[in-house]
Amino acid sequence: MRCIKRLLCVLCAGVLAAGFSACSAAAGEAAVPGETAAAPVQSEPASAESTTSVTQGSETYRGFVLDNVLHSETDGDIHFNLYVPDRYDGSKAYALFVTLPGYEGLYFQGVGSNLRSEAFGFEAQQYNAQMLIAAPQLGDWGETSADQTIALTEYLLSAYNIDPQKVYLNGYSGGGETGSLVMEKRPQLYAAYLAVSTQWDGDLQPLAAARTPVYMAVGEEDSYYGSEPLKSAYEELRGLYMDMGLTQAQINDLLVLDVKDQAYFTERGYRDQHAGGGAFAYDETIMGWLFSH
């Protein structure tokens, strides 16, 4: 089954590449600084007891320092691209956004491929220009990447002055699978999670206990996942909240299922609904929901 899944992902990557070309071009037109010097990545976390260290990348892309590597004794080398606002000086707490890419943005696809194919990291700046943004490039969409996402988030919380109440996560496609596992393991680390064009792999019980808000966005006929996996996850999580005695109004504050029809994607230049998931980065209702928490 794992081999079949990998084969499907490779086939899907071709569709994604075609769909993302328009998305990437649009992202490139955004009013974001180009190849300019970015704030340095902290070489060591704030805690003297930590055993982690970071090798800072030397290349920049639209304000992001590319291919920083967090060396973790427990989770291995974690590659990530990082945007730090020019005004950051550690004197006040900033928000943090962690965006997990689909298959086309994993590390073996090339340094910075996630930023060149997805716009979430750039569009987030429209909602909070003074926010750190981490764009990891991990190696899979399973347990290893979930653990590395958590380790990277914890490192950034220790190395920078970040408001722990304003840490946001999103995952697209395979990155959404990783994100769902993060929501099983450490949902309390994040203020809200946006799952895009994906399926839910994690256990929903810990998420329900933490009550971390989740927005699920998917095409009705997503070419890779379909919409049933997220619909099922929504109903299961909604049932858990009902069992906890929450009202429907309270559940609506914590959980949103947004299933888009073909017209939504066609209007944005996509025929394929899975590739069209990249368009969610430009949707003010979706992205605005995430950063309102």
Please answer whether residues 104 and 24 qualify as being in contact, where contact means their C-beta atoms are separated by less than 8 angstroms: no
Average pLDDT over residues 154-168: 98
Rounded CA gap, 241 and 86, in Å? 42
Q: Exposure of 90 by Cβ count < 10 A (0-12 exposed, 13-18 middle, 19+ buried)?
A: exposed
Q: pLDDT value at position 50?
A: 53
- The helix/strand count (H/E) of the chain reads as 10, 10
pLDDT value at 4 more than 60: no
Helix (H) or strand (E) holding 22: helix 2-28
Q: pLDDT value at position 52?
A: 77
Average pLDDT over residues 36-43: 54
What is the three-class DSSP state of 244?
coil
Q: pLDDT value at position 39?
A: 56
Parallel, antiparallel, or unpaired for β 192-196 and 76-83?
Answer: unpaired
Please answer whether residues 218 and 230 qualify as being in contact, where contact means their C-beta atoms are separated by less than 8 angstroms: yes
Domain count, the chain: 1
pLDDT value at 13 more than 80: no
Q: pLDDT value at position 48?
A: 36
pLDDT value at 16 more than 60: no
The chain-wide mean pLDDT, for the chain, equals: 88
Residue with tokens 């005004």: 87
Between 4 and 70, the more confident residue is: 70
Q: pLDDT value at position 30?
A: 34
Parallel, antiparallel, or unpaired for β 64-72 and 76-83?
Answer: antiparallel
Average pLDDT over residues 13-32: 36
Question: CA nearest 233: which of 209, 266, 256, 265?
Answer: 256
pTM, to two decimals: 0.85
Q: pLDDT tens digits for 124-142?
A: 999 999 999 999 999 999 9
pLDDT grade for 103, boundaries at 50, 70 and 90? very high
CATH number, position 33:
3.40.50.1820
DSSP letters, 263-277, are: HHHHTTT-SSTTGGG
Q: pLDDT tens digits for 248-279?
A: 999 999 999 999 999 999 999 999 999 999 99
Range of the domain at 128: 2-291
Q: pLDDT value at position 279?
A: 98
Q: pLDDT tens digits for 190-226?
A: 999 999 999 999 999 999 999 999 999 999 999 999 9
Rounded CA gap, 220 and 261, in Å? 5
Helix (H) or strand (E) holding 88: none
Between 62 and 28, the more confident residue is: 62
pLDDT value at 36 more than 90: no
Q: pLDDT value at position 234?
A: 98
pLDDT value at 37 more than 60: no
